[in-house]
Amino acid sequence: MEGIGKMVLLIVVGVLIVFLIGFIPPKIQVARLRGEVKDLNTEVEDLRKKLDYEIKLKQIASDFTLMYLEVEDRNYGNGEKMASALCSDLKKFAEETDDQRMKEKISLIMDRRDITISYLAKGNPIALNEIREQLLIFLK
């Protein structure tokens, strides 16, 4: 009876060991999959940041274009309001971006801000040329 008890015990222990060993591959696979998910989340976050950046660039270019059209139609008051808002947006964008080239472009545009707003306030048609130049700086 003792021999049978030991054999049963060995069989139970053996089955238990085989059962526990069966958990190892799934644990390894879960760890690998978690790593892949983390990498994919990082990639998605990077793509989202790039997309947000591109959307902001397009929005600013669109605002510049709308301002240009307003001034072209001699709506200097609207152009002045749009220029002030656009300058605020550009300043905020420059603070948020890591793109040094874009910061330099915005700095060039902001250097001309006061004169452009002055031309708009006076209804001076030269404002149109200023806005066009600033838009070209931004788009380069």
Cα–Cα distances (Å) from 117 to 9, 91, 93, in that order, read 91, 15, 20
pLDDT digits (tens, 9 = 90+) for 6-41: 887 778 888 878 877 777 788 788 888 899 899 999
Best CA proximity match to 94, nearest among 84, 104, 86:
104
Report whether 119 contacts 130 (CB < 8 A): yes
Taking the whole predicted model, whether its pTM rises above 0.85 is answered as no
Q: How far apart are CA 120 and CA 81, in angstroms?
A: 9
pLDDT digits (tens, 9 = 90+) for 33-86: 899 899 999 999 999 999 999 999 999 999 999 999 999 999 999 999 999 999
b/e burial code for range 87-112 (CB count within 10 A of at least 16 → b): beebeebbeeeeeeebeebbeebeee
pLDDT digits (tens, 9 = 90+) for 105-127: 999 999 999 999 999 999 999 99
Who contacts 67 (Cβ-Cβ below 8 Å, separation ≥6)? 79, 82, 83, 86, 131
Q: How far apart are CA 116 and CA 106, in angstroms?
A: 14
